[in-house]
């Protein structure tokens, strides 16, 4: 039996305290299951933002999508996680990734390692967090036992191997790194990555939640017009036809009913039951959340 859907919104835009709390309350009212924050320079600092979100909400869970492991010392990060898990009443979900923006590392004065070096650091971070947070003698203690749920994001074999060892949720980005930025995966490319995940996960494959970030969830009666405009302003989509763009797994464009059917199809084909949208789509995506609530 498939897992029920979970929906999250990743909050990108800085806001003052009143605006932030109101937006978080609105996400909860609209039925989202999880409020997340990223870990990029120029965006809200993750942990204070989550504590503020907790103060404004009651039900919704709170997480990071995702912390850039390269920014963090594991012991200090364990202290942050344990503190925030307590302050949010045990609602925290911790998302981690390798980090991919060289310019942010340079601005912060932090070495930008090779791709392999970043994966090595992510593994060390995850292993140390698992050890520290699961240790009953670690102070401060976490509220959730043995530790808060862990989300690991990435597409490569080494990150997927790490995820199936430690994660509760595996977040596939639906894109790959290139010199031009993140390039969305085609349906066939994502099929291959899901097959790799299932081979690595073995018996755990059906235990873990699979998450996908939907980049442009647009509720409209004219999806072709929306896609034509998107193709014109997005270099990473250059060369795609409108039809091919609409087939990309990270695309969800159409009426609320069409998008709901598309997410059902993504669950059936790939196993995704957790979907994230960015906060500009908080309101417009809400009818889809309502249609799929409880499925």
pLDDT at 216: 87
Of 51, 45, 60, 56, residue with least CA distance to 14: 45
Mean pLDDT over residues 25-51, rounded? 96
pLDDT at 246: 94
Give the SS3 label for residue 68. Answer: strand
Residue ranges of domains in the chain: 6-215+254-292
Architecture of domain 6-215+254-292: Alpha-Beta Barrel (3.20)
- State the burial class of residue 25 (Cβ atoms within 10 Å of its Cβ: 0-12, 13-18, 19+): middle
Per-chain mean pLDDT for the chain: 95
List of E strands, 127-270: 150-153, 169-172, 175-178, 181-184, 209-213, 216-219, 251-254
Look up tokens 């034509």; give the residue. 228
Mean pLDDT over residues 150-167, rounded? 97
Interval 124-136: pLDDT, tens: 999 999 999 999 9
């Amino acid at each position: 039996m498939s897992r029920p859907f979970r929906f999250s919104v990743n909050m990108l835009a800085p806001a003052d305290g009143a605006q932030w709390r109101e937006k978080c309350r609105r996400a909860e009212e609209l039925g989202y299951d999880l409020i997340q924050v990223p870990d990029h320079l120029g965006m809200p600092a993750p942990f204070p933002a989550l504590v503020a979100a907790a103060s404004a909400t009651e039900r919704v869970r709170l997480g990071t999508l995702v912390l850039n492991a390269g920014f963090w010392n594991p012991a200090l990060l364990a202290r942050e996680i344990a503190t925030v898990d307590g302050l949010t009443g045990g609602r925290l979900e911790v998302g981690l990734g390798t980090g991919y923006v060289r310019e942010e590392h340079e601005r912060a004065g932090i070495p930008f390692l090779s791709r392999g070096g970043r994966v090595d650091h992510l593994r060390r971070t995850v292993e140390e967090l698992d050890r520290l947070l699961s240790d009953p003698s670690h102070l401060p203690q976490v509220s959730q036992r043995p530790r808060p749920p862990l989300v690991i994001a990435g597409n490569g074999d080494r990150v997927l191997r790490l995820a199936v060892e430690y994660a509760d949720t595996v977040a596939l980005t639906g894109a790959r790194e290139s010199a031009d930025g993140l390039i969305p995966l085609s349906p066939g490319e994502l099929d291959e990555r899901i097959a790799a995940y299932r081979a690595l996960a073995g018996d755990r494959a059906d235990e873990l939640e699979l998450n996908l970030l939907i980049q442009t969830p647009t509720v409209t009666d004219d999806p072709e017009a929306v896609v034509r405009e998107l193709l014109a302003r997005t270099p990473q989509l250059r060369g795609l036809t409108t039809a091919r763009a609409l087939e990309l797994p990270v695309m969800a464009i159409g009426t609320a009913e069409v998008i709901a059917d598309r997410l059902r199809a993504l669950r059936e084909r790939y196993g995704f039951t957790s979907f994230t949208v960015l906060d500009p789509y908080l309101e417009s995506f809400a009818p889809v959340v309502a249609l799929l609530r409880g499925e």
